[in-house]
Amino acid sequence: MSIGAIDTSRIQAMVEQLKAAAARAQGGVDPLQTEKTGAKPDFAGALKASLDQVNGTQQKAEQLGQRFAAGDDNVNLSDVMISMQKANIGFQATVQVRNKLVAAYHDIMNMQV
């Protein structure tokens, strides 16, 4: 898994949760209960972990930039620029996920029951 990326296993776990909720709503058998009895994946926990990872990447990039500006010979300009771009890409991905979640929330709230 690369820095700033969302873990695909967590996405798969969220998809399984959605399938289980749909099965319960239709009166079917919960596929999560029949497949495994381990710890249930938590969407809030996965989201927080992703945000913490993006925050850590941004802090690392900022520290490298400060070290380079202070004249540290162990820090190259290319390392600083690459870490800043990784932090920027992670942040932009997080913003896009947030936008999709807000759009989905608005769609659900505007549904007629």
CA 77 to chain centroid:
28
* Any domain includes 83: yes
* Any domain includes 1: no
Q: pLDDT for 19-32, tens place per residue? A: 887 777 777 555 55
Q: pLDDT for 31-40, tens place per residue? A: 555 555 567 7
pLDDT (0 to 100) of residue 47: 87
* Any domain includes 76: yes
String of b and e for 74-99 (b: at least 16 CB within 10 Å)?
A: ebeeeebeebbebbebbeeebeeeee
pLDDT (0 to 100) of residue 40: 75
Please tell me the total count of domains within the chain.
Answer: 1
Q: What is the domain range of residue 70?
A: 8-109
Q: Give the amino acid at 105.
A: Y
